Amino acid sequence: MARPVTLVFLVDALGWEIAEHFGFGGDLFATRAPLGTVLGYSAAAIPSLLSGATPAEHGSWAMFRRAEGRGVFSRLRWIPPLPHALDWRARRWIRRGLDRGRRVHAYYDLYEIPTHLLHRFDLGQTGDPFRPGGLARETVFDWMQSRGIRYRLWDYRSDEAENLRAAQASLAEPLDVLFVYTAELDALMHRVGIFHPSVGARLSVYASFLDAMRRDARTRDVDLEIVLLSDHGMTDVADTVDVWGGLERRGLRAGRDHLAFYDSTMVRIWGDGGARAATEELLVGRGRHLDAPQLRAFGCYFPNGEYGDAIFLADPGVLVVPSFMGARRIAAMHGYHPEDRFSLGCFMTSVSMPALDSILGFKAHLQKVVGAKH
C-alpha cells in the first residue's frame, strides 16, 4: 500500500488574478479556486491561515502596535530625532541588539520607522507562528505535534531553491507532511509588478517543482496529495498619497500632537489633535476611514486600540508614500480591501473537492486530510 504524504506549498502573495493570468496550475490541480483573505499584511494573514482564527482572535494584526508598558523597544526612550543617515545606522544597531537578545522569534523589520518613535511601539507578535507555541492560538504545527504527525518545514529563513530541492529529497524519509513556505514571489512582485514576465518564469519554476514531486512520489510508492495556497494576493500600484507630509504641513507632527503609524496602505492614528480629520481629508478619492462595525466584520477590531484608535485604508492601487516602510514608490503592494479581486489568494489541490473560500478554513482542511490518513 502506498505511503500517504501531504505536501503543503504556501506561496506568499500568489493572487488568483495572477495565477489565472499566467495559467498557473491548470494542468496540475483537480481543484482551483480564489481564496478569501483577511485585512492586513502577512503579519495578519499568516497567523490566520495557520490557526483558522481572525486577527482579533489570535492577536496579531499588524507588525507594529502601540506599546503597552514594556515593549521590546521600551529602552530606546533616550533616542532623539536623528538625521536620515544616522537614523538608518541606529536601526541597524537596534536590530542587531534584538537579534542577539533572542527576544523576537517572529519575522520583523524596522524598515524606516523613525528611531525616536520606536519606543512608542511594540511588535504585534514576538513568537514564530511557524513553530509550535508561537501563537496565542493553536496552529497547524501545534496540532501536528500533539497528534504525533511527522512533518518537516522549510521557510523564509533559507534559500528558496535549496528548500525546493530538500523537500523533493525528503520524499524518501518517513514523513507525513511536507510544509514549504516561500516569500520570494512576494518580493519579486513588489519590485516588478504582478504581470511581469519574470513572475511567469517564477511560476514555471514552481510548476516544475510540483511535477518533479509527483514523478518522484510515483517512483517511491508515495501517495502524494498536494495543497497549494497563498495568504493574499497582490495589486499593481497606480497612484500615491502623502499623508505623513500632508499632516506635517498642517503642523501636526507624529509623536507630539498625536501618534501615527504610516504603513504602505494604512494609516493608524492614536489620539487626535486634528490628525484624524486631516487624514480623512487627505485621503478623499484615494482611501477611507474604517469604522468599528467594518473592523468587526473584518475580524480586526481591537477595542483597546492597540493597533490604532482610527484606522484609514488606501484604495486598491494607492500607496502611502512616504511611509514608515520607505520613501519610494514600489511596483506592487498588498494590504488593501480583502474583498477586492486582486486581494484574493488562491487554493489548489490535487484532489477533486469543494474548494475553500477563506484562509480561515485551511487549518480544518489540513486536519481533515492528514487526520484521516494518520
Q: What domains sit in the chain, N to C, each tagged with a CATH number?
A: 3-56+128-235+339-373 (3.40.720.10), 64-123 (no CATH), 238-329 (3.30.1360)
The Cβ of residue 228 has, within 10 Å, a number of other Cβ atoms equal to: 24
CB 42 within 8 A of CB 62: no
CB 35 within 8 A of CB 16: yes
pLDDT per position in the chain (374 positions), as tens?
789 999 999 999 999 999 999 999 988 999 999 999 999 999 999 999 999 999 999 999 999 999 976 789 988 888 888 888 888 899 999 988 888 877 788 899 999 999 999 999 999 999 999 999 999 999 999 999 999 999 999 999 999 999 999 999 999 999 999 999 999 999 999 999 999 999 999 999 999 999 999 999 999 999 999 999 999 999 999 999 999 999 999 999 888 878 999 999 999 999 988 999 999 999 999 999 999 999 999 999 999 999 999 999 999 999 999 999 988 889 999 999 999 999 999 999 999 988 899 999 999 999 999 976 66
DSSP letter for 263, please.
-
Predicted TM-score (pTM) of this structure? 0.95
CB 86 within 8 A of CB 96: no
Cα–Cα distances in angstroms (integers) from residue 70 to residues 120, 133, 134, in the given order: 10, 22, 20
pLDDT at 109: 92
pLDDT at 360: 98
- Please name the residue ranges forming H helices in 70-196: 84-101, 140-147, 160-169, 184-192
**Does the CA dihedral 272-276-277-279 come out positive or negative?**
positive
43/64 Cα distance (integer angstroms): 9
DSSP letter for 254, please.
B
Q: Which of 218, 215, 227, 232 is closest to 31 using CA atoms?
A: 227
How many residues appear in the chain?
374
Percent helix / strand / coil, the chain, rounded to 5: 35, 20, 45
CB 42 within 8 A of CB 231: yes
Specify the 3-state DSSP secondary structure of 312.
strand
CB 250 within 8 A of CB 277: no
All 3 cell numbers of residue 107?
A: 519575522
73/115 Cα distance (integer angstroms): 10
286/60 Cα distance (integer angstroms): 26
